[in-house]
Amino acid sequence: MATHEVFNQAPPFVGHDVYRMDAVLTEAVDRWVPEDHRSATHDELSALGVRAGSAEAAELAERAERNAPRLRTHDRWGHRVDEVDFDPAWHDLMTVAAGAGLTAETWTKGRDVGAHVRRAAGFVTWSQVDAGHICPITMTHAALPALRHSPVLAERYEGPLASREYDFGLRPVSEKAGAIAGMGMTEKQGGSDVRSNTTRALATPGGPLPGETYRLTGHKWFCSAPMSDLFLVLAKTSPEAAPSCFLVPRVLDDGTRNPFAIQRLKDKLGDRSNASSEIELDGTWGSLVGEEGRGVRAIIDMVAATRLDCILGSAAITRAALTRAAHHARHRSAFGKTLVDQPLMRAVLTDLAIESEAATLLGMRLAQAVDAGEVELARLGVAVGKYWVCKRTPTLVAEAMECLGGLGYVEENGLARLYRQAPLNSIWEGSGNVNALDVLRAVAREPASLKALLEEAEAGRGQLSTLDRALDRVLAEGQALAVDPQGAEAGARRLVEGLALTLQGSLMARYAPPEMAEAFVESRLGDGMRLGLGALEPGLTVLAAPAALERC
């Protein structure tokens, strides 16, 4: 039957270089990667970008999402195995991510080669394909700085964690070409309050692991990627003690399985390609990481790295939603014009592009701060950025979906998957309140971090008068906080939002096209600010639209 002709539809959004078409990423590499490494970095990331924009990658992501991981607690003979089966597409995605150096390789490079900027650009590029498999990639990257609190453990596991080989299967790490890491911190009764954990660790010298060995008994309410090779786990050596951090492998060196019972996989809103689980530990072997009773201090380095990836991952989701919306608007006509030429649609797309630029730019600058050893800026900037960028993402993706109308709401387009994924980074590694309170603690305990962040924001002074007034406000608020940090708790979100927007405005003023910077600052920090996206003053839209749309 031929009842009608199919026309006025956008072609498939494939066949492009995700990296090269993102000016923020390429400019960040030009700006912050040393010249003698720049050309090779562009070439490597472009190859990754071509893969990310291919029809094959889109099919892998769809299969990994559609065919969710399945738990097998027992084999056919009744033996407990506690294994998770994945669609082959998952392993293909992991192979590309590891092969692109997105795991722990970064920490093995010198700071003078721009390794964190290179990885951040690759992370944003490849995350746009599927965010689920990026979770264990992030944890593998973040595990190494935590393990360096115990040199004997770092020496043993650094090579496998930094490998570009993805080697799936439960075997001793010593027999594998590469290793993946996970973590188990939270428990039913506490969530983010890890000091209420009840998992116990009994010192057992002479165990089958390097370093100081313990046996752990308890549960973990949220253990992501349970087929990882090793985990960082929090447990207490006594009910009154502060938590300690332990490295827990799935398989011991002699090939026996470490007790690690997967009770169930989580049925989640999004992140469906990734397996998240509840586990029980019963006499499970672990090696102490850092000092006993200082587990939060040891694992905070892992948290800092994962939080930066939360910013980058949210920027990637926003970018993926924006480019899909722009692609549709360029090919779809309504009321005699393509959508992209309709004034109101241009206003929406321009606003989305400005927000996407600011999110990615902040993430890339914080990655560069890690490369440069700017510890104080990275410490506070990551907490501020994690709060704001991740919290904005669901709103931005929802707006991008509206650009497609009903087409955006169906699964096959890809935006529905992005929308389900969008809230996760705002919850993972500390929800909005946790991050806002963390900012207050950092300012109270490490005042140099606030000084470093304000100095970074001040670097944009003199570019735009509205930005200068915003800098004055946030400087006054920061000084008031330093005087009375305890009294600031109820207003923590307001403070963090102000810090984030002012820092983003400063970065936009220095590094973005001037018309986009002006539109961001006036609409986010000026007197004429509006809450809704696409509500820019008409003059700002006319000014910023050409550059904004060219960059998406």
SS (H, E, C) 410-437: CHHHCHHHHHHHCCHHHHCCCCHHHHHH
Tell me what percent of the residues of the chain surpass a pLDDT of 70.
99
Q: Which residues pair with 83 in a beta bridge?
A: 72
3-state DSSP call for residue 264? strand
The whole-angstrom separation of Cα 412 and Cα 511 is 36
Checking if the pLDDT of 498 tops 80, the result is yes
Q: What was the pLDDT predicted at 517?
A: 98
Contact (CB, 8 A) for 521 and 505: yes
Checking if the pLDDT of 444 tops 90, the result is no
Q: pLDDT band for position 485 (50/70/90)?
A: low
Kindly report, residue by residue over 62-71, the tens digit of the pLDDT. 999 999 999 9
Q: pLDDT band for position 486 (50/70/90)?
A: low
Domains of the chain in start order, with CATH, are 175-293 (2.40.110.20), 294-552 (1.20.140.10)
Please tell me the total number of residues recorded for the chain in this structure.
552
Kindly report, residue by residue over 397-429, the tens digit of the pLDDT. 999 999 999 999 999 889 999 999 999 999 988
Mean pLDDT, to the nearest integer, of 138-158?
96
What's this model's pTM, rounded to 2 decimal places? 0.97
Mean pLDDT, to the nearest integer, of 30-49?
97
Tell me what percent of the residues of the chain surpass a pLDDT of 90.
88
Question: If you search the block for the tokens 């490597």, which residue do you land on?
Answer: 44
Checking if the pLDDT of 73 tops 70, the result is yes
Q: What was the pLDDT predicted at 349?
A: 98
Distance, C-alpha 138 to centroid of its chain? 7
Contact (CB, 8 A) for 208 and 201: no
Q: pLDDT band for position 491 (50/70/90)?
A: confident
State the DSSP code for 149: T
Q: How many CA atoms lie within 13 A of 198 on its CB side?
A: 9
